[in-house]
Amino acid sequence: MSMTAFAIALIAAAPLAEPSAAQLQPPVAANELAAQPLSAGRVDQALMVLEKASAADPNDPALLINLGIAYAQAGNEAKARTAFEAALASREVIELDTADGTTTDSRRLARKAIKMLDRGEFRPANMRSEQLTYRE
């Protein structure tokens, strides 16, 4: 799965219920887990939204995963790893829908994100060592 497909939209699958007045309002970026800014490459905007949302709900695994993606895209792999590990350690395990249409649990997705981070898959293509050319 490409990093873009992984990052575009991670949303918690919630049970359907009668919408409240607040739910009828246009969604704010935190409710979307900053999926739009992440997919558009607006990492600074995504970080601002996700850090604020995470401060309000520091144990939400979906927020932590997208926060980790944003940190990784910004080049801060240490903070990305911390966010992914926090999502993995969260007591709450939720089903998440990804942009590619698959559904998986938050722990599985956090483990996958850590592996992707270890392989450098969140780095821009021009920074990946396997894409560099070398002289013999």
Q: Are 50 and 102 in contact (CB under 8 A)?
A: no
Give the C-alpha separation, 17 to 24, whole Å. 12
Tokens in use for 27?
């969604």
Q: Which helix (H) or strand (E) holds 97?
A: strand 95-97
* Confidence grade of residue 135 (pLDDT, cut at 50, 70, 90): low
CATH domain 3-11+28-123 topology: 1.25.40
Half-sphere exposure of 32 (CA within 13 A, CB side): 18
Q: Are 28 and 73 in contact (CB under 8 A)?
A: no
Q: Where are the domains of the chain?
A: 3-11+28-123
Per-residue pLDDT tens for 33-57?
A: 888 898 888 999 999 999 999 999 9
Per-residue pLDDT tens for 98-112?
A: 878 899 999 999 999
pTM, 2 dp: 0.72
Give the C-alpha separation, 67 to 39, whole Å. 13
